[in-house]
């Protein structure tokens, strides 16, 4: 039985990373629901959810049969590749080098594409609608499955990792039901930066554990690793910011003060 203190980082990482993915999936499902009807949107989502749950049930427990150091090394390297990729993109977006991810634009694009696919089929079966929702939930959900299995298996805390992802799913479903539109106001890019930092921290820690490297502060090293990636991300963001962007921001803050 693991305590809350050791499970908390896993729950947090799994919750935040899953939240970002579920928000992206929700955007597509809402577009399908609005354009093609709610029945195919929910049928596709449900089918995808079953497939993803099967993947977690299949791969999650089977990892416990592999020696922990090997799991930590493999999962650590994969998490590093995954986390540093997110972090790189998030820094480029925060620094103004890449365009920010826009859920409303994605929603409009998908709605338009689905609208041009012709009328929904029979009332009971709309293949285009079901396939669109299924594909979106499977593709975004695959990332959730990886995050749940990776954060859970390496820390031997699959339960807390599933709990974190389930909480994120519940939150996004409730918000989707209440709002019936994409969660455009969620600071998705900031969330992605935080998730990139968290996953890179976890990845570095478990890679080191898998390799048998020494960490100052032993298990507490996870904290300074996350802090270290945070500081690095902030510095790099400042380094790539274009002077025009910095000037505009300072003008906005000055206007706000006056």
Q: Is 15 in the site for another protein (CB under 8 A)?
A: no
Cα–Cα distances in angstroms (integers) from residue 136 to residues 23, 47, 54, 104, 128, in the given order: 11, 11, 17, 16, 12
Could you tell me the sign of the dihedral formed by the alpha carbons of 175, 90, 41, 32, in that order? Answer: positive
Q: Is 211 in the site for another protein (CB under 8 A)?
A: yes
d(CA 11, CA 151): 9
Interface with another protein by CB under 8 A: which range of 32-40, 72-80, 105-113, 176-184? 72-80
Query: Can you tell me which residue has the tokens 């902030």?
Result: 234
Q: Is 204 in the site for another protein (CB under 8 A)?
A: yes
Q: Is 143 in the site for another protein (CB under 8 A)?
A: yes
Interface with another protein by CB under 8 A: which range of 31-39, 100-108, 168-176, 211-219? 211-219
d(CA 184, CA 162): 26
Q: Is 68 in the site for another protein (CB under 8 A)?
A: no
Tell me which of 142, 167, 171, 186 binds another protein, using CB under 8 A: 142
By CB under 8 A, what part of segment 220-249 binds another protein? Answer: 221, 225, 228-229, 232, 236, 239-240, 242
Look up residue 118 and give its two tokens.
Answer: 């012709």
Q: Is 207 in the site for another protein (CB under 8 A)?
A: yes
């Amino acid at each position: 039985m693991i305590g809350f203190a050791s499970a908390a980082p896993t729950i947090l990482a799994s919750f935040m990373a899953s939240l970002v993915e579920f928000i992206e999936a929700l955007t597509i499902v809402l577009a399908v629901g609005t354009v093609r009807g709610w029945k195919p949107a929910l049928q596709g989502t449900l089918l995808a959810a079953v497939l993803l749950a099967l993947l977690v049930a299949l791969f999650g427990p089977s990892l416990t049969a592999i020696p922990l150091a090997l799991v930590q090394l493999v999962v650590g390297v994969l998490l590093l590749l995954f986390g540093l990729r997110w972090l790189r993109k998030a820094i480029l977006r925060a620094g103004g080098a890449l365009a920010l991810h826009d859920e409303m634009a994605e929603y409009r694009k998908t709605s338009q594409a689905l609208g041009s696919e012709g009328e929904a089929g029979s009332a009971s079966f709309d293949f285009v609608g079901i396939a669109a929702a299924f594909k979106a939930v499977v593709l975004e959900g695959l990332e959730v499955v990886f995050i749940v299995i990776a954060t859970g298996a390496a820390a031997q805390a699959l339960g807390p990792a599933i709990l974190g992802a389930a909480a994120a799913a519940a939150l996004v479903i409730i918000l989707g039901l209440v709002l019936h539109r994409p969660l455009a106001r969620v600071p998705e890019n900031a969330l992605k930066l935080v998730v990139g930092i968290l996953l890179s921290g976890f990845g570095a820690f478990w890679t080191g554990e898998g390799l048998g490297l020494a960490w100052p502060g032993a298990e507490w090293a996870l904290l300074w690793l996350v802090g270290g990636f945070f500081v690095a991300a902030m510095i790099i963001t400042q380094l790539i910011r274009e002077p025009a962007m910095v000037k505009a921001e300072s003008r906005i803050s000055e206007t706000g003060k006056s």
